Amino acid sequence: MAEVVSSQNKTGQQIDQTPLNTFTASNPILGRENLGLTTIEMMEMYQKHAGFEFLNVPLSVSSNSTDDSDNDLEEMVKLELYQDSPLFQKINFQIQKQQLIAKERQENEAVGALTKQRHEELPHTSLQSEIDNENESFDSRGERPNKLIKLEPVSPQPDDSRRSPDSAQMKKVTSTTPTLPPCRVCGERASGFHYGVNTCEACKGFFRRSLKKIKIDYKCVGKNNDCLIAPGKRNSCPMCRYNKCIAVGMSKDAIKTGRYTHEKRTKDIVEIKKLQGTSNQPEDADTEEELETIIQMLTKYHREITLGDLPHLGNPQNIADLQQKYYEEFQQKKKMFGDLNLSKEEHFSFYHSTGLDIDDRLTMMQGICKSLEKGIAKLVNFAKQIPGFVDLPLEDQASLIKDRCDLQDPDKVEAIQWRLVKCLCLVLSKKWGSRSGLKFCEFINCLISARDLTEWHVKITKNLVIDWPVLQNHPLLLEMMTV
């Protein structure tokens, strides 16, 4: 009734229609670290486009992005960009795509050690080896949450013995199966529907106390306000706990009093059913907090992977500065040694006869390759964090990394994908409310547009492989570039 309808704000999103962005500063040859940067930069862009912290990377400081600066992404996609970028845009988009393409089935297999057993017969390709590589270079604080939802494996009521917060119901054991979905905040057993959300008694009390505070003076004990609020460690960080409360929708305005509606009760029961069903095959059952956890997890991993070792790159301005610097170095060199401007052939014959890498281009390419390989390793590691990804056939994992479509187990991939779509929808609906549908279409359009890059990618890499024999020393790169 008194619902506030968001007014149509003209954001004007679409492919190719706006001016150039600022990061296309030209760069000698392939631009050295530039490649790695582009990836991160692209993520930034994508995120800015999304208009929310889709990947938890802080929205950039540079361009005063108020509301209408969010078509940078499309520009990147469509406009003439620096020649070497597409490959990494491609990969980047694949990352983005992955997020729409993978996730799930994890929490109930608390043991879950017997997941990878098959597809060990054929000799692995280098990419597959990379994927199969268990000692991930991923250096999280070592506390990666293997279990999404701890809890008891299945139904919440078997261990009613544990604490059973509602002793009131003891007196009248009128069945009533106090079954409820778990606490949306911490994952513990929920005691009811508090402040508009199914939460446990503890989180309810916590939120109530928070409401009473005049000022929220919690401080995050971590660093990024992204502490994981899990069943065991609910009290680790009050700030993040409060944030999560808000995030899941707790509010004084959402209070519901009085007896349950039939509708709601059946909804709860259905959810419980689904949760229990996860053991067999839930088919399409993800509780919201599961999705939430996935989002948090991927978000966190993504940040660590992208900015973990290069935190200063979180700011696009730094990237631009670096590019500028490299470019000036190049100009300097050019002035000092003259513009050699050797063609590939000239350089090759010269190198062949004298053994001299005259303008260091080979060395530079070596560096680029290394940087690239590192990037790919990161990509692979990220992909592996996507629940369900590692359970795919190795070939499929490789195919997805390479953005190919000839999958062995498309059903499984689609299941993963669907879970991620749901995550996206959740995020979008939280951020955009009634406009989330439109935003969803935007995302899909972006994905579809991204497909154009595949063609481009193939074309460019084909030449790349021919022009740079040095690539032969990097089987991983070669495979990524091979269709």
For its own copies, give the closer residue by CB, 178 or 231: 231
Query: Does position 233 bind its own copies by CB under 8 A?
Result: yes
Using CA atoms, how far apart are residues 470 and 474, in angstroms rounded to an integer?
8
Fill in the per-residue mask, 160 to 189: x = in contact with Zn ion (CB under 5 A), - = not in contact. -----------------------x-xx-x-
**Nearest C-alpha neighbor of 144 from the set 136, 156, 153:** 136
For DNA, give the closer residue by CB, 187 or 238: 238
The partner in contact with residue 273, picked from DNA, Zn ion, its own copies, none with C-beta cut-offs of 5 to 8 angstroms by kind, is its own copies
Tell me how far, at minimum, the Cβ of 153 lies from Zn ion, in Å: 19
Q: What is the DSSP letter of 227?
A: -
Fill in the per-residue mask, 47 to 86: x = in contact with its own copies (CB under 8 A), - = not in contact. -------------------------------x--------
Query: Does position 151 bind Zn ion by CB under 5 A?
Result: no
Query: Does position 402 bind its own copies by CB under 8 A?
Result: no
The partner in contact with residue 382, picked from DNA, Zn ion, its own copies, none with C-beta cut-offs of 5 to 8 angstroms by kind, is none
Whole-number Cα distances in Å, 165 to 169, 192, 236: 9, 10, 22
The partner in contact with residue 174, picked from DNA, its own copies, Zn ion, none with C-beta cut-offs of 5 to 8 angstroms by kind, is DNA
For Zn ion, give the closer residue by CB, 128 or 199: 199
Query: Does position 436 bind its own copies by CB under 8 A?
Result: yes
DSSP lists the bridge partners of residue 192 as 199
AA identity, residue 114: L
Tell me how far, at minimum, the Cβ of 462 lies from its own copies, in Å: 15
Distance of CA 249 to the CA centre of its chain: 22
Torsion angles phi and psi, residue 263, rounded to 5: -55, -50
Torsion angles phi and psi, residue 438, rounded to 5: -65, -40
Q: What is the DSSP letter of 70?
A: T
Give CB contacts under 8 A, 24+ apart, made by 287-292.
287/181, 287/182, 288/184, 288/248, 288/426, 289/149, 289/181, 289/182, 289/184, 289/187, 289/248, 290/107, 290/148, 290/149, 291/419, 291/422, 291/423, 291/426, 292/184, 292/247, 292/248, 292/426
Query: Does position 270 bind its own copies by CB under 8 A?
Result: yes
Using CA atoms, how far apart are residues 273 and 187, in angstroms rounded to an integer?
17
Query: Does position 237 bind Zn ion by CB under 5 A?
Result: no
Instruction: Give the residue carrying structure tokens 């369900």.
Output: 388
The partner in contact with residue 185, picked from its own copies, DNA, Zn ion, none with C-beta cut-offs of 5 to 8 angstroms by kind, is Zn ion
Residue 38 in contact with residue 45, Cβ under 8 Å? Answer: no
Residue 61 in contact with residue 432, Cβ under 8 Å? Answer: no
Tell me how far, at minimum, the Cβ of 226 lies from DNA, in Å: 17
- Please name the residues in contact with 440: beta carbons below 8 A apart, sequence gap of 6 or more: 424, 425, 428
What are the residues binding DNA (CB under 7 A)? 163-168, 171-172, 174, 176, 191-196, 200-206, 208-209, 211-212, 234-235, 238, 241, 252, 255-263, 265
* Run of H or E including 168: helix 168-171
Fill in the per-residue mask, 194 to 213: x = in contact with Zn ion (CB under 5 A), - = not in contact. ------x--x----------
Fill in the per-residue mask, 156 to 185: x = in contact with its own copies (CB under 8 A), - = not in contact. ---x---xxx-x--x-----------x---
Considering only the stretches 26-34, 113-121, 136-144, 282-290, report the one whose residues sit in contact with its own copies under the rule CB under 8 A.
282-290
Binding-site residue total for its own copies (CB under 8 A)?
Answer: 79
DSSP lists the bridge partners of residue 198 as 193
The partner in contact with residue 360, picked from Zn ion, DNA, its own copies, none with C-beta cut-offs of 5 to 8 angstroms by kind, is none
Residue from 85, 128, 454, 461 in contact with its own copies (CB under 8 A):
454
Residue from 66, 117, 176, 280 in contact with its own copies (CB under 8 A):
280
The partner in contact with residue 351, picked from Zn ion, its own copies, DNA, none with C-beta cut-offs of 5 to 8 angstroms by kind, is none
For DNA, give the closer residue by CB, 10 or 215: 215
Q: With the C-alpha atoms ordered 315, 316, 317, 318, is the resulting torsion angle positive or negative?
A: positive
Query: Does position 11 bind its own copies by CB under 8 A?
Result: yes
Residues that bind Zn ion (CB under 5 A): 183, 185-186, 188, 200, 203
